[in-house]
Amino acid sequence: MFSGVKGGFLRSNISMTRRLFLMSFCLLVAFATLVGTVVPGFAQDQTAPAGQETIIDQAQEQIAQARKQMEGYRDQVEANRTDDLRLVDIKGKVDELGREVIKSTVTLRPRSDEIKGRLAELGDPPKDGQPPEAQIVTEERNRLIAERAQINAVIGDAENLSIDISTFSNAITEIRRQLFTDTLLKRTEVSFDLLGSVPAFLAHEAIQFQDTIGSWLAFVWKFKRIPLAVTIFLSLAAALVLLAGSYRVFGSYTRRDPTVTDPPYITRLAVAFWSTIIQTSALIAFLGLSYFFMSTFNVLRPDIVGFVLVSFAFIGLVYFVWKLTHAVLAPSEPNWRLVRISNRGAKFLVASVVVMAFVNGLDYQLSSISVMLGSAVELTVVKSLVASLIIGSILIVVSFAKPVLNRSGNPEDPGRPWPRYISIMLRLAGAALIAASLIGYIGLARFAATQIVLTGAVLSTMYIGILSGKAVSRQDAFAGTVLGRYLEQRYKLGSVALDQLGIAAGLGIYFIAFLTGIPLILLSWGFQPKDLEQWAVRLFTEITIGSISISLVGIFSGILIFAIGLLATRWFQKWLDGNVMARSHVDGGVRNSIRTGIGYVGVAIAGLIAVSAAGINLSSLALVAGALSLGIGFGLQNIVSNFVSGLILLVERPFKVGDWVVTGTTEGLVKRISVRATEIETFRRQTIIVPNSELINASVGNWTHRNRLGRQEIQVSAAYESDPREVIAILQEVLAANSAVLRNPEPIIEFLRFGESSLDFEMRFFLADLYQGTEVRTAIRIDIFERFREAGIEMPFPQRNLTVRFEDDNATTSSGKLSEALRMASSGSKPKPAEKLRPVDEAGMIKS
Amino acid sequence: MGSWGCRIIMERLFYAFLMASAFATTATAASVTNTDSQTVVLVVVEDGKRVEIELQPGDQQTICASGCFVTLPDGDRIGLEGGENVEIVNGSAVVK
C-alpha cells in the first residue's frame, strides 16, 4: 500500500527496475546456497601464500566497494525521499548488500582455519627456561599470527559495515513509514476556491489528453501499424487458445445448467470458481501479453506507458470483480446462488459492488492521466474527493438495502434487512469515508476505499474457498465431485475412504484459502513481503513458548520421515518376502517371523529418526525414559513380559502361523503372532487371543510343529460269528488301497477286545497331512462297510440276552401277569394302568 | 485499481507463492554448540545490533536468522550466512 498511495498520487513509476529486482531476488535465493558452498571450496584450493594474500585483499576490496556502494545508496535515498517505489527498490538492494558483505567474509574462513591448524601444530612459543626453537618456526608463527590478525581486522571491518548497513536499512524503513503517514494524513483544504479552479484545469487536461492520445495514435498509425496489429493478433490468439483449452478441460463446470432445479452446493461452488478463474485469467493473459508485445515492439511511447498499464489493470480488475460478484450472487439464477440473498438484493449488490470497483479504479485511472500530463495537483485531489464521496455514499445506500433472503425461502419475495452489525459497519465505513474526504484527508479516504474494494474481494474469495472446503468435507459430498468419482473408478475406493479423502480435501482447501488470502490481505495493507516471509519462516521454524521452542517444520518433517520410513519398511518387507524368501522356498513360519521382525525394527528406526528430525533431543528423552522405567517395571510388567514373550516366540518359533496348537484351554489354528498376544482360531471359528507370556510359560501342544504327520484311529466292530483273521485281512487291504495312508510308519490293526456284543478292532495309521484326516477316515469307513457287506461280515447291534427269574410264592401271579401282558400287547388292547409293564433294566430285573 | 493494481497484485501473488515454497527451503538459522567444559561468551552482531550470548558447557543455541558476525573467545571473528553448525572447541570455532 505504500507504493499504492504513492504510485497513484505522486508519480507513476513504471520502470522495470522493481521487476528486475524481483527476478534478481529469486535468482539470489536460488543460488545463495550454491554460491555459499562453491566459494569456500574454491578458496581452499589456493594454498600458495600469494593466493592467500589475494583472498584477504579481495575481501578487503569487496568490503571497501560495498561501503562505497552503500554511500551511493545513501545519496539515492536523499534524492528520492518522496518516491516510495524507489525507496523499496533501494532498501532491497541495501539488504542484499548486507548479505553480500557477510558472504565476502565467508571466503576467508578456510584460510583462517588453516592458520589456526598450523599454529596449533607449531605450538606455543618456548617459555623462559625452555630451549629456543628454530628461527624459521618463530618466523612462520609470527607471520601466521599477523595474517590472522589481518583477517580478524577485515572481518571486523565487515562487521562494522554490516552494522552501518542495517542501521541504514532501518532508516529507509523509517523514511517510508513517515512518507506513508504523511501521504495518508496529508490534509488538503477542501474549499470553494479549490473546487472553482477545477473546471478550468479539467478543460485544459481534457485538451491535453486528447492531444497526447491523438499524437500517440497518429504515431502508432504512421510507424507502428504492423507491430500493433501483430500485438493484437498474438495476444488475442494466446487468450483464445487459453480460453478454448480451459473450456475443453473445464467447460462442463463453467456453465450453469438452467434445467437443474436444485444443484448441490459443491457444484454451485465449482461453477462459480471455474467460471471466474477461466474467464478472468484469459482476459489477464490477453492484457498482459498485449502489454508485453507492445513494449517489446516499442508501440508504447514512454509518456503513454503509465496510462496504458493503468488502463489494463483497471479493465482487468473491474472485470474480475464483476465476474466474482456474478459468480457468488448469480443475480438471474437464484438456484445457483452461493449466499442466501433475495433476487432483488443480488441484483442490487452486484451493481453496487461493480460500481464501487469501477469508481475506485477510475480514480486511479484518472490520476494516472494527471500524472502523465503533469496536471495540477488540485485536479487529482478533486477527482479522488469525488471518488471517495461516491464510494462512501454507495456504502451507506447498501447498508439500508434489504437483500437477505426472506424467511419464506423464496428468492422472489422481498428480502429482509442486513444483520445489525453489518449494516452498522457499512454505515460507519461510508460515513468515515465521506467525512475524511470532506475534512481534507483525501489520501486516507482513498486508501480506505481501495482497501474496502480490494480486501473485500480477497475476503469474499477466501470465504468461497472456506465454504467449498466445508462443503467438500461434508459426509458423502466428496464422492459426488468429479475428482471423487474419478478416484472411485480409478482406484476402486470405498465410500469410507472417499469420505476420509473428502475431509482431507476440505482441510487442504481451508489451508490454501488461508495461505493465499491472509498474505494477500497483509500485503495490501502495506506489509512488506520480506517481513511476511520472515514471520512465516519464524512461525514455521521456531515458536518459542518460555524456554521451549517448537518448530512446526520440524514436527511436520518428523511425521513425514516417519511415514516415509513406514512405507519403506513395508516395501522392504514385501520385497524380501515376495522375492527373496518365496523364491528361496523359505518356510512360511520363518518368513512370517522375519517379516514381523523387520516390521518392528523398521518402525523403531523410523520412529527414532522422526523424533530426532522433529528436533526432540533423544538424550532428554532418555532421561524421561529412565524416570519412567521404574513405573514401567511395576505398572506395565505384564505388557512388557508379553512383549518380550512375543519376541521370543518370533525367534524361537515353537509354533508358526497356520499351526494346529493345543494350549491349556484352547485348540485351534494360529492365525497371527503379534507382539502382545497370539490369535488362535478354533475349529468353530472363534478367535481366541492368548497373551504371549502364557504361550511361553505354559506347555503348548503343536500338532504340526515339524511336519503335518499325524496318527489317525478308527474303531471297527465285527460280530462274534466272523473270523477275526479275515476281518484283519480286509482291514489291511482297505488301508493298503487308500493312497493317503502312509506305508511307513506302517499301519497297525489291533484286536482290541472281546466286546459285549462284538469283536472290537482298532486301525491305527499315519497320514502325511493331518488336515486330510476327516476325508480319509470317512473314505476308509465307507470302504470297510462295503467290504464287510461283500464278505458277509456282520457289524452287530448291541445284543441283550434277557433272563427272567421268578420267585416261588409269586410265581404264578407274576407269570400270569406277564403272559397276560404279552397276550394283550400282541392283541393290541391296552392293559390296565396298574398292570402296566414296568421297565426292565439291562440285568433283566424289573425296576420298582 | 491504479498503476499499482495489476503489477502489485501479480507481484504479491508471486510473493505468496514464493512464501509457500519458502517453507520448504528456508531454515537458515545457524546453531552454535559449546563443547568446552567452561562457559563461553560470544559477541553476535545481527541486524545491526551487538548482543552477547552466554553458552553453558554443552549448550546449543540458534542464532542468525539472516546472517551475522560472531566474535569468539579466542578473539577470532567469523561471518555466518545462516545454516551453519558451529561448534566451539577450545574457545575457537569449528564451522560445519
| pLDDT > 70? residue A15 | no
pLDDT category at A811 given cuts 50, 70, 90 is: low
Tell which residue, A217, A13, A43, A189, has the closest CA to residue A113. Answer: A43
Nearest-angstrom CA–CA distance, A453 and A456: 5
Taking contacts as CB-CB distances below 8 angstroms, the residues of chain A near B86 are none
- The reply to whether A648 touches chain B by the CB within 8 Å rule is no
Q: Map residue B24 onto helix, strand or coil.
A: helix
Q: Which residues pair with A764 in a beta bridge?
A: A713, A748
Taking contacts as CB-CB distances below 8 angstroms, the residues of chain A near B19 are 519, 529, 532-533, 536
Mean pLDDT of A695-702: 88
| pLDDT > 70? residue B24 | no
**Do the Cβ atoms of B47 and A166 come within 8 Å?**
yes
Taking contacts as CB-CB distances below 8 angstroms, the residues of chain A near B80 are 102, 106
| ipTM reported for the complex, 2 dp | 0.75
Helix (H) or strand (E) holding A786: helix A773-791
Measured between CA atoms, how close is B40 to chain A, in angstroms?
Answer: 19
CB pairs under 8 A between A and B: 183
Measured between CA atoms, how close is B5 to chain A, in angstroms?
Answer: 6
pLDDT category at A40 given cuts 50, 70, 90 is: very low
pLDDT category at A198 given cuts 50, 70, 90 is: confident
Confidence (pLDDT) at A834: 43
Which A residues, 477 through 516, put their C-beta within 8 Å of a C-beta on chain B?
515-516
| pLDDT > 60? residue A3 | no
| pLDDT > 50? residue A822 | yes
Measured between CA atoms, how close is A368 to chain B, in angstroms?
Answer: 7
> Cell 479552479 maps to which residue?
A197
| pLDDT > 60? residue A96 | yes
Average pLDDT, chain B: 73
Taking contacts as CB-CB distances below 8 angstroms, the residues of chain A near B29 are 541-542
Tell which residue, B46, B42, B45, has the closest CA to residue B76. Answer: B42
Q: DSSP labels for A425-452?
A: HHHHHHHHHHHHHHHT-HHHHHHHHHHH
Nearest-angstrom CA–CA distance, A206 and A514: 45
Q: What is the pLDDT of residues A430-448, one digit of tens each?
A: 999 999 888 888 888 888 8
Q: What is the pLDDT of residues A285-327, one digit of tens each?
A: 888 888 888 888 887 777 788 888 888 888 988 898 898 888 8
Q: Residue B66: closest CA among chain A residues belongs to which residue? A: A99
Q: Residue A114: closest CA among chain B residues belongs to which residue? A: B94
Select the residue from A105, A308, A371, A530 to test the B interface by mutation, using most B Cβ atoms within 10 A. Answer: A105
Lookup: cell for A745 = 510308519
Lookup: cell for A136 = 624459521
Residues A655 and A705 sit within 8 Å (Cβ to Cβ): yes
Lookup: cell for A162 = 554490516
Q: Which residues pair with B93 in a beta bridge?
A: B88
- The reply to whether A825 touches chain B by the CB within 8 Å rule is no
> Cell 513360519 maps to which residue?
A589
Taking contacts as CB-CB distances below 8 angstroms, the residues of chain A near B20 are 515
Measured between CA atoms, how close is B70 to chain A, in angstroms?
Answer: 9
pLDDT category at A568 given cuts 50, 70, 90 is: very high
**Do the Cβ atoms of A454 and B1 come within 8 Å?**
yes
Taking contacts as CB-CB distances below 8 angstroms, the residues of chain B near A313 are 1-7
| pLDDT > 50? residue A848 | no
Rounding to the nearest 10 degrees, give the CA dihedral for residues A819, A822, A827, A828. 140
Lookup: cell for A58 = 579481495
| pLDDT > 70? residue A346 | yes
**Do the Cβ atoms of B6 and A313 come within 8 Å?**
yes
pLDDT category at A665 given cuts 50, 70, 90 is: confident
Nearest-angstrom CA–CA distance, A282 and A240: 7
Distant-in-sequence, close-in-space partners of A358: CB < 8 Å, separation ≥ 6:
A318
Q: What is the pLDDT of residues B54-63, one digit of tens each?
A: 888 888 887 8
| pLDDT > 70? residue A472 | yes
Residues A412 and A337 sit within 8 Å (Cβ to Cβ): no
How many alpha carbons fall within 13 Å on the CB side of residue A740?
A: 18
**Do the Cβ atoms of A360 and B1 come within 8 Å?**
yes
Taking contacts as CB-CB distances below 8 angstroms, the residues of chain B near A33 are 83
**Do the Cβ atoms of B5 and A364 come within 8 Å?**
yes
Distant-in-sequence, close-in-space partners of A326: CB < 8 Å, separation ≥ 6:
A350
Taking contacts as CB-CB distances below 8 angstroms, the residues of chain B near A18 are 7, 11
Q: Which residue has the higher pLDDT, B93 or A571?
A: A571
Confidence (pLDDT) at A814: 59
Mean pLDDT of A154-178: 88
Buried b (16+ CB within 10 A) or exposed e, A288-302: bbbbebbbeeebbee
Strands (E), B5-84: 30-34, 40-46, 49-55, 60-63, 68-71, 77-80
Lookup: cell for A495 = 465410500
The number of helices, as runs of H, and strands, as runs of E, in chain B is 1, 8
Q: From the centroid of its chain, how far is CA B45?
A: 10
Confidence (pLDDT) at A4: 38
Q: What is the pLDDT of residues A733-762, one digit of tens each?
A: 999 988 888 888 899 999 999 988 889 999
Q: Map residue A490 onto helix, strand or coil.
A: helix
Q: Map residue A689 onto helix, strand or coil.
A: strand
Confidence (pLDDT) at A762: 93
Lookup: cell for A278 = 477461466
Average pLDDT, chain A: 80
Select the residue from A115, A116, A455 to test the B interface by mutation, using most B Cβ atoms within 10 A. Answer: A116
Nearest-angstrom CA–CA distance, A765 and A748: 6
Q: Which residue has the higher pLDDT, A646 or B13?
A: A646
Confidence (pLDDT) at A808: 62
Q: What is the pLDDT of residues A203-254, one digit of tens each?
A: 888 888 888 888 888 888 888 888 888 888 888 888 888 888 877 776 666 7
First CA to last CA distance, chain B: 50
Confidence (pLDDT) at A825: 67
**Do the Cβ atoms of A306 and B3 come within 8 Å?**
yes
Other residues' Cβ atoms within 10 Å of the Cβ of residue A759:
21
Distant-in-sequence, close-in-space partners of A79: CB < 8 Å, separation ≥ 6:
none
Distant-in-sequence, close-in-space partners of A191: CB < 8 Å, separation ≥ 6:
none
What percent of chain A lies above the pLDDT cut of 90? 14
pLDDT category at A549 given cuts 50, 70, 90 is: low
Mean pLDDT of A602-627: 79
Residues A14 and A306 sit within 8 Å (Cβ to Cβ): yes
| pLDDT > 80? residue A639 | yes
Point out the least confidently predicted range of A111-120, A625-634, A812-821.
A812-821
- Between the alpha carbon of residue B75 and those of residues A28, A155, B90, B93, the distances in Å are 32, 12, 12, 10
Evaluate if pTM is beyond 0.80. Answer: no
Point out the least confidently predicted range of A388-392, A621-625, A652-656.
A621-625
| pLDDT > 50? residue A839 | no
